[in-house]
Copies of this chain bind each other. A is one copy, B any other.
Amino acid sequence: MKALVYHGPGKKSWEEKERPKIIDATDVIVRITKTTICGTDLHIMKGDVTEVKNGRTLGHEGIGVIDEAGGAVKRFKKGDQVLISCITSCGTCEQCKRGMYSHCEYGGWLLGHLIDGTQAEYVRIPFADTSLYHAPGGVNEDALVMLSDIFPTGFECGVLNGRVKPGDTVAIAGAGPIGLAALLTARFYSPSELIMIDVDDERLRKARGLGATQTINMTGVDAVKRVMELTDNRGVDVAIEAVGVPVTFEICEDIIAAGGHIANIGVFGEKVDLHMEKLWSQNITITTRLVDTVTTPMLLKSVESGNLHPEELVTHHFPLGEILKAYDTFSHAKEEKAIKVVLENR
């Protein structure tokens, strides 16, 4: 079969590779029908994720069809249409039992990281019973691909941890795929204001189309001052960090109202300054989280009922065989006006 294989920083190829086989009785093999590329994949290509070794097939998102199921798999059989979760969970360890699948003792983020991933014609999924979902029929397939990672991530790390509630004023720093997924799922709770902050006017325009009530291009603008103006100097109830750099984290520190929640989604490569000399008395909460994908069933229901349209984030489609071109497009997101690219294996 063909797969997108990592060969060290800056090097990848679409190459022939042996088809994955069942290793444990709880595994399945999925034939990928659609997959996508994550910002994390670009980080891997830069060499930022050192656990990823030469020869690894990348990708942790996708949908497909069960091609073969191990003997201990109860809930899936050959031919089933499935959604692959970016987080693999054993379902039996202490962390899984508390719903913190991201820290599963035997799983966690494995695909395209510690084991071969989904940017290939076939992928092996361990612990299939607890790491896959039945794909409902009659639903937009692009929408489903978005549920592997970015929607549970935006929702769990941003919206749930931020405890967004009706009437709230919410700011989201970063209008990339994750920030926009947070925006769309924040709307589940009917906040009064949804302020998006980014450096790209095109993405902010998109955000307005998806329900942002205010947008701030922080290029050459004092974003903190602007948020304070918009909120009568009160600040925001919830600030969601969806970039992963100190400057946006500190904006969140500066705009959070007393009693508010800063919910971090961003993947950080360095420490940030936490201004405890100001925040110690402000009754705030700061949260971090690697997505647990515990809300995937709810997100599936919301897609089915028409309450959520994740496909609105898909800007480009490519045949799976043109994945190198898709990486190129996704790497130049601003110029290409790309948000999410979908690869199709027909």
| Most chain B CB neighbours (cut-off 10 Å) among A72, A274, A284, A292 | A274
A46 contacts partner chain B, Cβ-Cβ < 8 Å: no
> Interface majority SS on A: helix, strand, loop or mixed?
loop
A334 contacts partner chain B, Cβ-Cβ < 8 Å: no
* Count of this chain's copies in the oligomeric assembly: 4
Q: Is the pair B95, A258 in contact by a Cβ cutoff of 8 Å?
A: yes
Interchain CA distance A282-B100 in the complex, whole Å: 10
Q: Is the pair A276, B288 in contact by a Cβ cutoff of 8 Å?
A: yes
Q: How many residues of A contact B (CB 8 A)?
A: 71
Q: Is the pair A271, B280 in contact by a Cβ cutoff of 8 Å?
A: no
Interchain CA distance A264-B274 in the complex, whole Å: 12
Provided the pairs A72-B26, A188-B166, A258-B100 are in contact, do residues A280 and B267 lie with their beta carbons within 8 angstroms? yes
Q: Is the pair A266, B288 in contact by a Cβ cutoff of 8 Å?
A: no
Of A201-209, A297-305, A312-320, the one with at least 4 CB within 8 A of chain B? A297-305
**Chain B residues near A26 (CB-CB < 8 A):** 72
For A284, give its contact among B166, B188, B192, B287 (CB under 8 Å).
B287
Which residues on A are within 8 Å of B, measured CB to CB? 25-26, 71-72, 74-75, 90-100, 102-103, 106, 129-130, 165-167, 187-190, 192-193, 213, 244, 249, 258-259, 264, 266-277, 279-290, 292, 294, 297-299, 301-302, 304-305, 307
